[in-house]
């Protein structure tokens, strides 16, 4: 990693460097949560909604990188949040004084480049287009776990489509009400297992009580006790 980032153009290469260092190739990251967790980043899925304004946050706890992501969002939004927060972890302490005020926008750029690399998008759409079909955006969303609007923005960002075409399609999304709920099939939500596994591990090693484990997993103590002992949590109806 470079010691400092002084140019916006470095963001693309920074995302490519991350993928290369982690041996991720240039295609879709099928399970982004697992990708992060297997490389030492703790991911916690939170039920906190904060009036539908909370997407995620990142930080360090005992020098362990941590990302918290909202549980209620669609999978593509969760994945963008995870990649955005990864951007914060990567860019921390590297941005020049001139770029520091743009950190949020730069993390968005990093997220797009990390989830949908330049070479992959050009391979699918071509280097230059004068028109995109909505169905194309949907197919790319399902393949890369990246929102249709995100794909459209990346196409404009990389110069595949001109600004006028992007503006026209974004207006169509607004007119159709697709800004808040995109058409076609939603992308599956991300799932995290490491935190739960660590809770069970700590419980087995007597680091804390069953009630504390239930609290950490957001469950009633009785429900957790039944689950732990593989008892029937809910009655079976016939």
CATH of the domain at 156: 1.10.10.2910
Q: Are 170 and 218 within one domain?
A: no
> Exposed (0-12), middle (13-18) or buried (19+): which is 231, by Cβ within 10 Å?
exposed
**Using alpha carbons only, what angle is made at residue 110 by residues 168 and 62, rounded to the nearest 5 degrees?**
145
- Report pTM: 0.84
Minimum mean pLDDT among 104-108, 190-194, 230-234: which range?
230-234
Residue 30, φ and ψ in degrees, nearest 5: -60, -40
Distance CA 25, CA 72 (A): 29
Residue 5, in any domain of the structure: no
Which residue is listed with tokens 């399970």? 31
* Segment 93-145, tens digit of pLDDT: 999 999 999 999 999 999 999 999 999 999 999 999 999 999 999 999 999 99
Residue 105, in any domain of the structure: yes
pLDDT number for residue 71: 83
pLDDT number for residue 230: 78
Q: Are 127 and 48 within one domain?
A: yes
pLDDT for residue 221 is more than 80: yes
What does DSSP assign to residue 100?
G
Q: Are 67 and 130 within one domain?
A: yes
For residue 130, give Cα distances in angstroms to 159, 163, 178: 11, 10, 22
Residue 185, φ and ψ in degrees, nearest 5: -70, 135
Domain hosting residue 122, numbered range: 10-176
* Band of pLDDT at residue 191, cut at 50, 70 and 90: confident
Residue 237, in any domain of the structure: no
């Amino acid at each position: 990693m470079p010691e400092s980032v002084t140019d916006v153009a470095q963001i693309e290469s920074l995302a490519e460097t991350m993928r290369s260092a982690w041996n991720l190739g240039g295609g879709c990251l099928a399970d982004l949560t697992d990708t992060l967790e297997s490389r030492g980043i703790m991911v916690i899925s939170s039920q906190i909604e904060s009036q539908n304004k909370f997407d995620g946050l990142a930080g360090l706890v005992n020098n362990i990188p941590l990302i918290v992501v909202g549980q209620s969002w669609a999978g593509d939004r969760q994945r963008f949040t995870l990649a955005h927060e990864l951007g914060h972890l990567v860019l921390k302490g590297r941005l020049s004084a001139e770029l520091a005020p743009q950190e949020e926008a730069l993390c968005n750029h990093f997220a797009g480049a990390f989830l949908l690399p330049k070479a992959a998008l050009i391979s699918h759409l071509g280097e230059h287009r004068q028109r995109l079909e909505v169905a194309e955006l949907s197919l790319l969303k399902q393949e890369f776990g990246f929102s249709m609007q995100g794909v459209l923005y990346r196409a404009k960002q990389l110069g595949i489509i001109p600004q006028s075409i992007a503006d026209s399609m974004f207006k169509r999304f607004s007119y159709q009400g697709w800004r808040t709920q995109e058409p076609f099939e939603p992308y599956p939500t991300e799932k995290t297992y490491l935190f739960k596994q660590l809770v069970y591990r700590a419980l087995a090693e007597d680091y804390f009580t069953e009630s504390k484990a239930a609290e950490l997993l957001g469950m009633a103590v009785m429900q957790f006790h039944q689950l732990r002992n593989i008892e029937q949590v809910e009655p079976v109806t016939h």
